[in-house]
Amino acid sequence: MAVASEAGGRSKSAGGRKRKASSAKPKATREELLHFYEQMLRIRRFEEKAGQLYGMGLIGGFCHLYIGQEAVVVGMQSVLEPQDTIITTYRDHGHMIACDMDPKGVMAELTGRIGGYSKGKGGSMHMFSKEKNFYGGHGIVGANVSLGTGLGFAHKYKEDGGVCLTYFGDGAANQGQVYESFNMAALWKLPVIYIIENNKYGMGTAVKRASATTDLYQRGAAHGIPGRHVDGMDVLAVREAGRKAVDSARAGDGPVILEMETYRYRGHSMSDPAKYRSKEEVSKMRQEHDPIDHLKQQLLEQKHIDEAGLKEIDKEIKAVVNEAAEFAQNSPEPDPSELYTDVLVEA
């Protein structure tokens, strides 16, 4: 996969640019690399556990796993400042873990318990954290793009120096309100980074069967929004592209589109017959492009850590995830009186 290529820009035309791989490898310190590794692995182990609990019938509703896409959210998170905001879709567990929400609260929401972030009434798609500036988890595909544009507007209006990261999928990129958002954000120079997580499929539909043009990073060209194509399986490439985008939005230059080329290993949701792709395709991606394996290789090659050290990290993460799963199974179910709360303000 190409590392990064650029499109758009206010003065240049975006059309027809070929993707080009940049040769310079982004650098990172040992601490940074280990932090990324730990973050990505934490998401993966969390998701594996969520998959298990779903299999055991403990999770109601739907459950969309993020496995395979970890580098995107971890790389982006590393360039944020505390006032920045984040909004995403229903494939949201990774985003919540990355912005340091409590895995216990996330898992307990999945199991519908009172200890969950939405008191067990929202489920996998609908969780929020005001403290962590995480504005959800949204199930209506494409709709969160308008909301993220509004979050960006608020940053600009308040002059708080914040930037909003608005994540959505390749499928969502075909919804009309995405373009209405692009226009408004470009017109008002809103500090919004539109992150298209192109995992190649929207439910069962491959990008090329749903999109007239598949270079999604160029989708803002008509509005003069610069776009970059990024290897979303490489956390350092993501960080590099993310930093540039965030810096420019923060400086008042308006929105940026980052198309993250990535892949989801699991089904669209837990009930997905996956008739639309081959097992070989999935295993090839896992074997050749896995973001965690890739970083692990780097860590070992550069002798930042040995196998024993890696095992230790995994053990610690597993303990955290197991604790979350315990909590999610033991937290009480919401009381029936909870049915009537939080519809309108209570007098």
Partner 1 sequence: MAEITLVEAVRLALARAMEEDESVLVLGEDVGVDGGVFRATDGLIRRFGPDRVRDTPLAEAVIAGVSVGLAVQGFRPVAEIQFMGFIYPTMDQMVNHAARFRNRTRGRLTCPMVLRAPYGGGIHAPEHHSESNEAMFAHMPGLRVVIPSSPARAYGLMLAAVRDPDPVVFLEPKRIYRAIKEEVADDGSEQPLDTCFVLREGTDVTLVTWGAMSVETLAAAEALAETEISAEVIDVATLKPLDMATILASVEKTGRCVIVHEAALTGGFGGEIAARLAEHGLMSLLAPVQRVTGHDIVMPLPRLEDQYMPGTDRVVAAARRAVEFA
Ligand X SMILES: Cc1ncc(C[n+]2csc(CCOP(=O)(O)OP(=O)(O)O)c2C)c(N)n1
Q: Reduced to 3 states, what is the DSSP secondary structure of residue 25?
A: coil
The set of residues, in sequence order, having a beta carbon less than 8 Å from that of 11 and lying 6+ positions away, is none
Site stretch for ligand X (CB under 6 A), options 78-86, 164-172, 212-220, 282-290: 164-172
Judged by CB under 5 A, which of 68, 105, 191, 202 binds Mg ion?
A: 202
Judged by CB under 8 A, which of 24, 308, 339, 345 binds partner 1?
A: 339
By CB under 8 A, residue 56 contacts partner 1: no
Shortest Å, Cβ 66 to ligand X: 8
Judged by CB under 6 A, which of 40, 97, 141, 163 binds ligand X?
A: 141
330 CB burial (10 A radius; 0-12, 13-18, 19+) = exposed
By CB under 6 A, residue 319 contacts ligand X: no
By CB under 5 A, residue 115 contacts Mg ion: no
Shortest Å, Cβ 176 to partner 1: 6
- Residue 205: how many CA atoms within 13 Å on its side-chain side? 13
Which residue, chain included where needed, has tokens 């989801």?
A: 264
Which entry of Mg ion, ligand X, partner 1, none binds 156, CB below 5 to 8 A by partner kind? none
Helical H segments across the chain, by residue range: 30-55, 70-77, 93-98, 103-110, 143-158, 176-187, 207-210, 235-250, 279-289, 291-301, 307-330
* Cα gap 75→269, rounded to integer Å: 24
Judged by CB under 5 A, which of 6, 170, 234, 261 binds Mg ion?
A: 170
Residue whose C-beta lies closest to ligand X = 169
- Residue 233: how many CA atoms within 13 Å on its side-chain side? 20
By CB under 8 A, residue 174 contacts partner 1: yes
* Cα gap 44→252, rounded to integer Å: 35
* Residues in touch with partner 1 (CB under 8 A): 60-62, 112-113, 120-126, 139-142, 171-172, 174-176, 202-205, 209-211, 273, 275-276, 333-334, 336, 338-340, 343
